[in-house]
Each structure stands twice: as structure tokens, then as C-alpha cells.
Amino acid sequence: MPARASTDYLLRLADTSLILGQRLAEWIGHAPALEEDLGLANVSLDLIGQARLLYQYAGEVEGKGRGEDDLAFLRRPDEYRNVSLVEQPNGDFGCTVVRQFLFDAWQLEMYQGLEASSDARLAEIAAKALKEVRYHLRYSSGWLVRLGDGTQESHRRVQGPLESLWKYTTELFSPDDLDLEMQAAGVGPDLEVLEAAWSRQVDDVLADATLVRPADVPYGWFGKRGEHTEHLGHLLAEMQVLQRTYPGASW
């Protein structure tokens, strides 16, 4: 029987896309320019679309009759499995660009790995998403270079978030038992190989942006195991309020 991703593994991917999609949607109507409002909203839309495909599949693999809405709107913060990076607050536009760049560069490598997954359905979803991810990375790296290599003020406002967000990248490349199990089954990529490719990409763009790469920290947050920062609860409270107040409500 061909290997199949576990529900938990799919939820990590789905939650990660959904939470960042929700974060970016907070920018709608608030971005510094109309073009950026459109840009962030479009990236958000792609991410939520990816999340839907992954939730539908996760619900099928789980086999308990839970659909995409149940998984998105009726789980508690500690049941969420997104990486901690994506739940961090937007901050200003510079901070959002930094978070997006670190994420896009990771997602590109991750999904290239998943495109070769032994789980055919997951491979299809990844292949579909990759076209979008490449486009997102162009957007975020373009902005990172413009801000980093812009004025003293714009430089300061991306270097700062780079330093404060860097610690959340440790998790992206620190495999736990589930990552290793999926890797052994050929479902997921080897995170160490991923880290090397990510690092090269990040270094190239940081150099163009005249930004300094922060030092790695020996510790990390593990949102993917359900250990979240305090920000996720607030985000979910807003995102889930309708379903929590009117259970089963639909359009």
C-alpha cells in the first residue's frame, strides 16, 4: 500500500497556511498603499485555498466525518499545529514583509520536497501550490530588498523584525518524531536538506537587502506540537467567533 500522510502531519501544513492567511487578511483596508493591500490579500487568498485543500484531505484521512470548517473553526489553540512563525503579529509593513519572506523561502523548499511525496494526493496539492509560492517569494523578497537597501529608517524597520523573528525559524528545520516518521515513509522531506537550501536563498536576499543575518538560537518554539505563543489564542478568538457563537452557521 502506498504511503499516506497522517492527519497530524496534514494539519501542520494546513494550519500553517490558514493562520498566515488569516494574519495577512488583517491587512485588508490597512496596507500602506492600494497595491500592497491587493498583494497581501492575494497572498492570503492563496494560502487559505491551500489550507482548504489540505483540510479536506486531512478530514478524509482522519475518517471521523470532520470537514474543512470543523477543522478550521472548532479546534482549540492547543489543537492547532501551525509553526509559531506564522502566528506572530503583523507589526508594521516591514515586519510583515520579513515574516513573509522567511516563510515563503521555507514554503518553497518544503513544498518542493512535498511535490515528490510518496503520498500522491499531497504531492498534487503541493505541485498546485508551488506556482503560487514562487510568486509570493518574488513579492516578499522584492520588498525586503527595497526596504533593507532603502533609507536608514526602512533598513532599521526590517533589520529589527528580522532579529526578533529569527528565533521562530529554528522550528522549521528541527524535525520531531512525526517529521522523521513521515520522512522515513517518503511522505515528507528531510528537514536538514531543506535547511541548507533555505539558508542559501535567505543569505542571497539578505545580502542584496544589506541586512545582517541574526545568529541562530539554541532553543525554539514548537507550534507544530501544539506549544504556541500567546498570540494564537487571540487570532483564533477572532477567526472562530462566528462558529463558536452560532454553531453550524453556514452561508
Partner 1 sequence: MVDEQPVRIIAAEAGEDSVWAVLRGVPDPEIPVLSVVDLGIVRYVRMPGPQVGITPTYSGCPATEVIRASIRSALAQSGYPNARIEEVLSPPWSAAWISAEGRRKLLEYGIAPPNPSSPDEPESCPHCGGRKIEMISQFGSTPCKALFRCLSCREPFDYFKCH
- By the criterion CB under 8 A, which residues form the site for partner 1? 21, 34-35, 38-39, 41-43, 45-50, 52-53, 123-125, 127-129, 131-132, 135, 138-139, 142
Q: Least distance to partner 1 from the beta carbon of 40, Å?
A: 8
Element (H, E) at 196: helix 191-208
Q: Least distance to partner 1 from the beta carbon of 124, Å?
A: 4
Q: Least distance to partner 1 from the beta carbon of 52, Å?
A: 7
- How far, in Å, CA of 49 to CA of 78, rounded? 23
- Closer residue to partner 1 in complex, CB, 49/160: 49
Is residue 226 within 8 A of residue 8, CB to CB? The reply is: no
Residue 31: count of CB within 10 angstroms of its CB = 17
Q: Least distance to partner 1 from the beta carbon of 196, Å?
A: 27
Instruction: At 156, list the grid cell.
Output: 532599521
Q: Least distance to partner 1 from the beta carbon of 177, Å?
A: 29
Q: Least distance to partner 1 from the beta carbon of 100, Å?
A: 13
- Closer residue to partner 1 in complex, CB, 11/18: 18
Q: Give start and end residues of each alpha helix (H) in 116-176.
A: 120-148, 152-165
- Closer residue to partner 1 in complex, CB, 8/115: 115
Is residue 188 within 8 A of residue 113, CB to CB? The reply is: yes
Of 55, 47, 49, 71, which is closest to residue 10 (Cα–Cα)?
A: 55
- Closer residue to partner 1 in complex, CB, 21/77: 21
DSSP codes joined into one string, 70-122: HHHHS--GGG----GGGGS---SHHHHHHHHHHHHHHHHHHHHHHHT-SSHHH
DSSP one-letter code for 185: T
Residue 13: count of CB within 10 angstroms of its CB = 30
Of 100, 129, 99, which is closest to residue 112 (Cα–Cα)?
A: 129
Q: Least distance to partner 1 from the beta carbon of 128, Å?
A: 4
Per the listing, cell 532579529 goes with 163
- Closer residue to partner 1 in complex, CB, 138/213: 138
Burial of 185 (0-12, 13-18, 19+ CB in 10 A): middle
- Closer residue to partner 1 in complex, CB, 78/135: 135
- Closer residue to partner 1 in complex, CB, 79/135: 135
